[in-house]
């Protein structure tokens, strides 16, 4: 789930991800955590970042930067598909 301080959002229970973010800042004393997601999980990544920073780490952590990107490729049927991604950079205030 983590590469350095990255949390990759998928289909596990929502609070797992919030806890993972909060623990990076508290137990592991990270200065920055990157919440990442692709496709339909992008909405969830925003939810995780908001709940972690506003409910659990209020005044301590904020959104520093947000990047979006996408990559195009051909699926099995030969159709052009584009999948979006997001990176939300949370940083200690």
- Residues near a copy of itself (CB under 8 A) are 39-43, 46-47, 49-51, 54-55, 63, 66-70, 72, 82, 84, 86, 88
Q: Nearer to a copy of itself by C-beta: 23 or 51?
A: 51
Q: How many residues does the chain have?
A: 93
Q: Nearer to a copy of itself by C-beta: 44 or 92?
A: 44
Q: Which two tokens stand for residue 3?
A: 């590469």
24, 7 Cβ separation under 8 angstroms: yes
Rounded to a whole number of angstroms, the minimum distance from the CB of residue 61 to a copy of itself is: 14
H/E run at residue 18: helix 14-25
Rounded to a whole number of angstroms, the minimum distance from the CB of residue 38 to a copy of itself is: 9
């Amino acid at each position: 789930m983590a590469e350095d301080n990255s949390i990759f959002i998928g289909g596990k229970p929502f609070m797992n991800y919030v806890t993972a973010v909060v623990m990076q800042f508290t137990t592991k004393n990270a200065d920055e955590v990157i919440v990442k997601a692709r496709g339909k999980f992008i909405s969830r990544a925003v939810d995780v970042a908001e709940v972690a920073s506003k409910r659990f780490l209020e005044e301590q952590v904020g959104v520093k930067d947000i990047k979006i990107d996408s990559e195009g490729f051909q699926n099995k049927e030969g159709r052009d598909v584009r999948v979006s991604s997001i990176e939300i950079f949370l940083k200690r205030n």
